[in-house]
Amino acid sequence: MTQLRGDLWQTRTESPFPGLTTHAYLWQGPSGNVLFYSPASDADFDAVEELGGVSAQYLSHLDEAGPMLGQIADRFGARLHAPAAELDAIGHHAHVDAPVEARRHVDANGVEAIPTPGHSDGSTCYLVSGVGGETYLFTGDTMFPAGDGTWSTFLVPGRGSASALRSSLELLATLRPDIVISSAFGGDTTIEEVRNSRWQKCIAEALASLPS
């Protein structure tokens, strides 16, 4: 586990298959520890336990679902939050305790859910306030570092919608995050500080990666 901020940790870099790197992020929120995304293995479970375990886990979309969900629930008693639009796909792996409805809202854990369909029908970004006054935005696969210093996005063939994804990125452009954290594709890290005009540049880069 790598500590990024006073209340934020990143799990080790993992590669579920060649060409893909993933991370999960533990945030110490006002109502307990929240895990965003899902690790690909249990390698950091002991470290997570030392940090106080996990009270809630949030998935941004169905691609993050897998066998680790059940192990996290069993080990830590975490309640799983996941997009309501993708319950059928995610439910094959674990029970979803708290379906996240497709409306912008802040829940009891202090997590703001922002529906961002496009990469998948239920894709959802999450916004939280960090202990140091910074705002953390978790984007899942809606947008991510491309590895060349720019941000990108992509459509899965036969799934999602380019027009919906464009609208979702335009919505994200109205936010003012300090730190943006995707779930995958970022090499050793999927996090970037977006000061001043950098966030708008990240959005423009992601929009430019969409098919015309």
Question: pLDDT by residue (tens digit) across 72-110?
Answer: 999 999 999 999 999 999 999 999 999 999 999 999 999
Q: Looking at residues 3-24, what average pLDDT do you find?
A: 86
Task: Report whether pLDDT(7) > 90.
Answer: yes
Percent of the chain with pLDDT over 90: 80
Residue 63 near residue 185, CB atoms below 8 Å: no
User: Which pLDDT value is given to residue 188?
Assistant: 66
In the sheet that holds 8-10, the strands lie side by side as 2-5, 8-10, 25-29, 32-36, 56-58, 79-83, 98-100
Q: Looking at residues 44-61, what average pLDDT do you find?
A: 97
Task: Report whether pLDDT(111) > 70.
Answer: yes
User: Which pLDDT value is given to residue 186?
Assistant: 61
Cα separation, 182 vs 196, whole angstroms = 20
Paired tokens of 52: 């106080």
Residue 67 near residue 55, CB atoms below 8 Å: no
Q: Which residues pair with 179 in a beta bridge?
A: 136, 193
Cα separation, 16 vs 149, whole angstroms = 23
Which has more confidence, 188 or 72? 72
Which has more confidence, 188 or 198? 198
User: Which pLDDT value is given to residue 21?
Assistant: 79
User: Which pLDDT value is given to residue 20?
Assistant: 75
Question: pLDDT by residue (tens digit) across 121-148?
Answer: 999 999 999 998 999 999 999 999 887 8
User: Which pLDDT value is given to residue 119?
Assistant: 93
Which has more confidence, 27 or 156? 27
User: Which pLDDT value is given to residue 187?
Assistant: 61
The burial of 6, by beta-carbon neighbours within 10 Å (0-12 exposed, 13-18 middle, 19 or more buried), is given as exposed
- Mean pLDDT, all residues of the chain: 93
Residue 200 near residue 162, CB atoms below 8 Å: no
Cα separation, 69 vs 147, whole angstroms = 28
